[in-house]
Amino acid sequence: MHGTVGPSGRGLSGSEELRNNGVVKNVGEAPREDLAAGLPTRNRVARSILDHGPSTVADLAGRLELTQAAVRRHLDALVADDVVVAREQRVYGARTRGRPAKVFALTDCGRDAFDQSYDKLAADALSWIAAREGGDDAILSFARARIAAQARAYREALDAADPEERTEALAKALSADGYAATARSAPHPQRGEQLCQHHCPVAHVAEQFPQLCEAETEFFSQLLGTHVQRLATIAHGDGVCTTFIPKISKNTDNASASTAGRNPA
């Protein structure tokens, strides 16, 4: 799916414990009594800050029953990954002598790592649109409008590419939006290329609303000026979203874009 249909997913680079959003979502959903039992300590530190707000090293050490030295090591890693940020503690009332204690707070990136129920919100919104505005056709109109509103960067990327490199240019543009896309030659006897999207941030919503995938397929066809065919989608249980793009001949008519292949049901 096109990146603008769903929320942006900023990754947590560097930390093996927090890099996997599935791990962090488990932290967000776990009962409090389970935290000490089986979850990575770094996740527990981040979760404690989420639950209690900006915290000092001493606060965290006391709540998690860790040494302050251990807490500092995890905080250093979380700061490096832009999950938490250090700042001076706000003092209300008369300030005591000495420097204010340093507290650690979650960044926007850190908050995004926890389950925010964005998928459910998006699905609920699309269900409301379908019920109030005309069913499946309304969803498809919405998906087309969202893609069209953000199409400029994609068009510019393809316009700047040589004709034989347009699929690769599209893959790079999709990767910049978080889709980990690649382009490769299609297997024999097909003549053309396969555009592979190895990640889809809105796959869970697209499971319920395949119009999102359909609008994206149409958009690819319009961009490339040729009929394309969606062979597989992550939303339907495949490992990769795969789109076949035939080799474009000199006589290819842009009108063929209107016959874009729909993703499999």
Summarize pLDDT for 39-58 with one digit per residue, the tens: 588 999 998 998 888 899 99
For range 89-107, the mean pLDDT: 68
For range 113-123, the mean pLDDT: 80
Name the pTM for this structure: 0.61
Half-sphere exposure for 256 (CA within 13 Å, toward CB): 14
Look at residue 95 in the predicted model and tell me its pLDDT.
52
- Contact assessment for residue 230 and residue 217, using Cβ atoms and an 8 Å cutoff: yes
Structure tokens at 68: 């302050």
Q: How far is CA 189 from CA 53, 185, 228, 261, in A?
A: 59, 11, 16, 19
Structure tokens at 146: 């969202």
pLDDT for residue 23 is more than 60: no
Three-class SS of residue 135? helix
pLDDT for residue 144 is more than 50: yes
For range 172-187, the mean pLDDT: 90
Interhelix angle 57-64/68-80, nearest 10 degrees: 110
pLDDT for residue 98 is more than 70: no
Interhelix angle 68-80/41-52, nearest 10 degrees: 90
DSSP tag of 260: P
Grade residue 101 by pLDDT with cuts at 50, 70 and 90: confident
Q: What percent of the chain has pLDDT over 70?
A: 73
Q: What is the end-to-end Cα distance of the chain in Å, rounded? A: 15
H-type helices in the chain, by residue range?
16-19, 21-29, 35-38, 41-52, 57-64, 68-80, 108-113, 118-133, 135-149, 152-159, 166-176, 203-208, 211-224
CA distance 19 to 46: 13
- Contact assessment for residue 179 and residue 200, using Cβ atoms and an 8 Å cutoff: yes
Look at residue 36 in the predicted model and tell me its pLDDT.
38
- Whole-number average pLDDT of the chain: 79
Look at residue 257 in the predicted model and tell me its pLDDT.
41
